[in-house]
Amino acid sequence: MKTQVVLFFPFDLGLELDFAGEEAQSMTHEIYAHALPPISFNSKLYTEANTESHLYRFGVGLIQINFQMEFNLNECAELSCNVEKLFIGKTAIAEWCQKRVNELIERAQNFAIHRYDLRLKESETFPAFIFHPSHVKNADHFIRQHYKALYGIVAGEPNFDMLSDFVFTKDPLTNLGYYENELILLKRFGAVISSSEFDTLLDLVALSYAQYWSLKSYHFVLDSEVDSAQKLLDRLPPYYKFWEIPSRYLRFSQDAIDFGKDKLSIVDSLYNVSKNIPKIDMDWHLRTIYKDVVKVFNIDELYKTVEIKLNRIEESYNQAREFLSTNFFILLDIIFALWLVWGILDTILLLYIAKK
């Protein structure tokens, strides 16, 4: 039996989405699915390939490419470590996917409820290999027998056959399977699955990977916001340049309002995604797998970093407006003091002239 290969290519939409109709409560929207030309890798040709594309409401798109190859762990590891060398027809896989990104972003505009000024344009591909159950009679025995090759697949390590026991001790493979014949291995750069529930598990991996990519895009947007806020803080006018204060205050206020809109969208995305994942609420095993997948993609730490950046930017805008307000009132105090002094001097002068 052949091995099914699934490649996930995520991309940032630069949007937050809200679906309508039957998909109003869904986390994802499928755009289209269709057949592909033969896929080639190292002079080998894989036919019967197809692709499907999904949009997630938190602003990430995912192109999924499916094809089959012969069951050979060394070849699977080689492909996993060299995905960028795949060709769809005569086009490199990265180039092929990028050509479809703009089209998918255009379609996503129909569901957009918020747009960001910037969009993360990085790209990468995550491979998953689905083994037929006939190849995995006992998962633990299978892992021991093919440990290095499996490690190469999920860790993206091209020299997997040369790895030492030190690596395996510090970062061992952990099977998340529920039954003895169920194989579920996952690390940052790949997954291996042999399970009757592989469709559900793939959906879970795809969603978590999309969440990870969403957090990367938020970091990209917020880094730009931090830089902008820092530049504005560095150029705050002193009180004696009073003519610049009103315009700068308006600028900060508008930027703070725009940032507030971005923050609301980001926070809504951060806290509502994990609460609306289908199929896991009543399944202990799926919940456990989801928690492990979250750890693999370091999602919780990324959440915390995003929150820190959000708070830092908000504090920067608040401090800037407070600084400008304070300088403005200092200016008013100086003007009032000068007016008072002038009034006193004017009164003394009038009295002096009256005496004469």
pLDDT digits (tens, 9 = 90+) for 31-87: 667 889 999 998 889 888 999 988 887 788 899 999 999 999 999 999 999 999 999
My answer on whether 160 and 265 are in the same domain is no
What pLDDT sits at residue 255?
59
My answer on whether 306 and 223 are in the same domain is yes
**Is residue 355 a part of any domain in this protein?**
no
Of the three residues 151, 175, 197, the one that is the final residue of a domain is 197
What pLDDT sits at residue 187?
94
My answer on whether 252 and 272 are in the same domain is yes
- Min mean pLDDT across 35-39, 188-192, 349-353 is at 349-353
3-state secondary structure of 50: strand
Rounded distance, CA 339 to CA 298, Å?
Answer: 61
My answer on whether 192 and 229 are in the same domain is no
My answer on whether 67 and 170 are in the same domain is yes
Residue 265 or 133, more confident = 133
**Is residue 145 a part of any domain in this protein?**
yes
My answer on whether 179 and 224 are in the same domain is no
% of residues, the chain, pLDDT over 90: 31
Instruction: Say if residue 23's pLDDT is above 50.
Output: no
Rounded distance, CA 204 to CA 92, Å?
Answer: 27
> Which residue range is the domain that position 71 belongs to?
3-197
Q: In what order do the strands lie in the sheet with 91-92?
A: 44-46, 39-41, 87-88, 91-92
Rounded distance, CA 6 to CA 280, Å?
Answer: 22
Residue 245 or 8, more confident = 8
Instruction: Say if residue 201's pLDDT is above 60.
Output: yes
CB 64 within 8 A of CB 206: yes
My answer on whether 60 and 87 are in the same domain is yes
3-state secondary structure of 191: strand
What pLDDT sits at residue 42?
86
What pLDDT sits at residue 252?
58
My answer on whether 74 and 164 are in the same domain is yes
**Is residue 103 a part of any domain in this protein?**
yes
**Is residue 242 a part of any domain in this protein?**
yes
**Is residue 284 a part of any domain in this protein?**
yes
Rounded distance, CA 43 to CA 223, Å?
Answer: 42
My answer on whether 107 and 191 are in the same domain is yes
- Min mean pLDDT across 74-83, 198-207, 252-261, 341-350 is at 252-261
Secondary structure of 273-315 as H, E, C letters = CHHHCCCCCCCHHHHHHHHHHHHHCCHHHHHHHHHHHHHHHHH
- Min mean pLDDT across 103-117, 191-205, 307-321 is at 307-321
Of the three residues 140, 166, 197, the one that is the final residue of a domain is 197
CB 252 within 8 A of CB 246: no
Q: Which two tokens stand for residue 55?
A: 């949009």
Query: Would you place residue 129 in the very low, low, confident or very high pLDDT band (cuts 50, 70, 90)?
Result: very high
If one counts the domains in the chain, the total is 2
pTM as predicted: 0.79
My answer on whether 175 and 91 are in the same domain is yes
Which amino acid is residue 281, in one-letter code?
D
Find the mean pLDDT for residues 142-168: 91
CA distances from 65 to 14, 41, 282, 351 (A): 23, 14, 30, 93
Rounded distance, CA 267 to CA 241, Å?
Answer: 38
Give the residues across from 68 on adjacent strands.
Answer: 4
What pLDDT sits at residue 351?
74
My answer on whether 106 and 226 are in the same domain is no
3-state secondary structure of 327: helix
Instruction: Say if residue 21's pLDDT is above 70.
Output: no
Instruction: Say if residue 275's pLDDT is above 80.
Output: no
Residue 89 or 246, more confident = 89
Instruction: Say if residue 243's pLDDT is above 60.
Output: no
Backbone angles phi, psi at 118, to 5 degrees: -120, 160
Find the mean pLDDT for residues 253-269: 57
**Is residue 18 a part of any domain in this protein?**
yes
Of the three residues 178, 197, 216, the one that is the final residue of a domain is 197
CB 4 within 8 A of CB 202: no
3-state secondary structure of 192: strand
Instruction: Say if residue 146's pLDDT is above 90.
Output: yes
My answer on whether 185 and 246 are in the same domain is no
